[in-house]
């Protein structure tokens, strides 16, 4: 088989091997592929493996041998599924590979906002503690999570795991999700109720037509005064101007994002000027162990497809 890996630099810096895919045929490794070069790169491919490369109808129309697209990702909004469905191209994603890592990062962001660890560390290293009159200088406010309400938008594997960790902190958990599956533990609420009652809102839903800019000026206005907002899902779910305005006005107490609308960040991104905002560069899924697991899932997806038993197939 002729296999093309479109953007291996988004998966490995050399620390995670992709050589296993050579079990299935000739592999062409491309570090990154500009959208304008995708069509040429895949024209002879039987299999395309990619992360964020745009697989549009235009890009795929000349790839007459293309049978399989394997995603190094859970999200698939870069794939024209109408085209793949009508042309018999199987698309498989890698769901649940990053659950532990994203949950860990979600709480790393939350704890930084509530415990100000970096700020206190800086204060101490700048001799602040040495010059303090008291043994415990209260320079920055710290907030207990116990008793606070965590609102989770989206309740797949990551949302459920975030809820479990939140409960161990003694938090009340409420959830808004498109598909409600009662489990006797989770309290499902309307979107408006979640906005009104949550002290912290964390996003764990996919980006689609329904969720695009779901969090906008109107949405943020409905949130509690001083509430915290976390997005480790997709940047397009958030209106970045509205988030910036809500932070500048002081309506939100703080926010933390790992994803933004255009990545890498551009100099004109409105979030660069937002106060009380933590930004990490889409690294919630980046632990080596997580990426090794991801490659293993994509390998198995391709193997199962070749064996006539495709897994993790994306249809819509």
- The predicted pLDDT at position 167 comes to 98
Share of the chain above pLDDT 90, in %: 96
Is residue 316 scored above 80 in pLDDT? no
Mean pLDDT across 79-89: 97
Is residue 220 scored above 80 in pLDDT? yes
Contacts of 194 (CB under 8 A, 6+ apart): 151, 153, 174, 175, 176, 201
Mean pLDDT across 141-169: 97
Catalytic residue among 105, 204, 240, 282: 282
Is residue 17 scored above 90 in pLDDT? yes
Strands 2-5 and 200-203: unpaired
Domain 99-279 in CATH 3.30.360.10: no
Query: How confident is the model over 269-282, as pLDDT tens digits?
Result: 999 999 999 999 99
Residue 234 annotated in active site: yes
Catalytic residue among 22, 218, 263, 289: 263
Three-state SS at 121: helix
Mean pLDDT of the chain: 97
Q: Measuring CA to CA, which residue among 86, 84, 57 is closest to residue 71?
A: 84
- The predicted pLDDT at position 242 comes to 98
Mean pLDDT across 115-141: 97
pLDDT interval class at 75 (50, 70, 90) = confident
Q: For residue 252, give the H/E element and its range.
A: strand 252-257
Q: Which residues of 96-117 are buried (b: 16+ CB within 10 A; e: fewer)?
A: ebbbbbbbbbbbbbbebbbbbe
* One-character DSSP codes across 178-195: SS----SS-EE--HHHHH
Query: How confident is the model over 167-215, as pLDDT tens digits?
Result: 999 999 999 999 999 999 999 999 999 999 999 999 999 888 899 999 9
Residue 125 annotated in active site: no
Query: How confident is the model over 279-297, as pLDDT tens digits?
Result: 999 999 999 999 999 999 9
Partners of residue 70 on adjacent β-strands:
49, 92
Residue 218 annotated in active site: no
Delimit the domains of the chain by residue range: 2-97+288-306, 99-279
Q: How many CA atoms lie within 13 A of 199 on its CB side?
A: 15
Query: Are domains 2-97+288-306 and 99-279 of this chain identical in fold?
Result: yes
**pTM to 2 decimal places:** 0.92
Distances (CA, A) of 300 to 27, 72, 316: 16, 12, 21
Mean pLDDT across 251-273: 97
Catalytic residue among 234, 240, 291, 293: 234
Is residue 95 scored above 90 in pLDDT? no
pLDDT interval class at 77 (50, 70, 90) = confident
Distance CA(108)–CA(105), nearest Å, equals 5
Is residue 96 scored above 90 in pLDDT? no
Distances (CA, A) of 257 to 21, 79, 105, 229: 33, 24, 10, 8
Burial class of 214 by CB neighbour count within 10 A (0 to 12, 13 to 18, 19+): middle
Paired tokens of 94: 């890698």
Burial class of 233 by CB neighbour count within 10 A (0 to 12, 13 to 18, 19+): buried
- The predicted pLDDT at position 37 comes to 97
Tell me the residue length of the chain: 316
Is residue 315 scored above 90 in pLDDT? no
- The predicted pLDDT at position 267 comes to 97
2-97+288-306 adopts what CATH topology?
Answer: Rossmann fold (3.40.50)
Mean pLDDT across 31-44: 97
């Amino acid at each position: 088989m002729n296999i093309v890996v479109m953007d291996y630099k988004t998966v490995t810096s050399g620390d995670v091997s992709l050589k296993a895919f050579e079990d299935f045929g000739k592999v062409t490794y491309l570090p990154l592929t500009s959208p304008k070069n995708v069509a040429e790169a895949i024209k002879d491919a039987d299999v395309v493996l990619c992360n964020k490369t745009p697989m549009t109808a235009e890009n795929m129309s000349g790839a007459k041998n293309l049978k399989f697209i394997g995603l190094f990702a859970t999200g698939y909004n870069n794939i024209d599924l109408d085209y793949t469905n009508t042309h018999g191209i199987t698309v498989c994603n890698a769901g649940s590979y990053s659950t532990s890592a994203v949950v860990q990062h979600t709480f790393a962001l939350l704890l930084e906002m509530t415990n100000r660890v970096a700020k206190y560390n800086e204060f101490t290293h700048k001799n602040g503690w040495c010059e303090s009159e008291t043994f415990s200088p209260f320079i920055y406010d710290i907030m207990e999570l116990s008793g606070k309400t965590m609102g989770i938008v989206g309740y797949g594997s990551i949302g459920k795991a975030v809820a479990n960790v939140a409960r161990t902190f003694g938090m009340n958990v409420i959830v808004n999700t498109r598909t409600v599956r009662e489990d006797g533990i989770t309290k499902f609420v309307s979107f408006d109720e979640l906005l009104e009652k949550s002290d912290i809102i964390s996003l764990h839903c996919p980006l689609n037509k329904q969720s695009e800019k779901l969090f906008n000026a109107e949405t943020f206005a409905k949130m509690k005064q001083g509430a915290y907002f976390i997005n480790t899902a997709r940047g397009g779910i958030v209106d970045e101007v509205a988030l910036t305005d809500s932070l500048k006005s002081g309506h939100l107490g703080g926010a933390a994002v790992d994803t933004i609308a255009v990545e890498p960040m551009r100099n004109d991104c409105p979030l660069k000027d937002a106060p009380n905002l933590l930004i990490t560069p889409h690294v919630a899924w980046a632990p080596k162990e997580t990426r090794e697991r991801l490659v293993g899932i994509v390998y198995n997806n391709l193997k199962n497809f070749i064996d006539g038993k495709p897994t993790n197939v994306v249809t819509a």
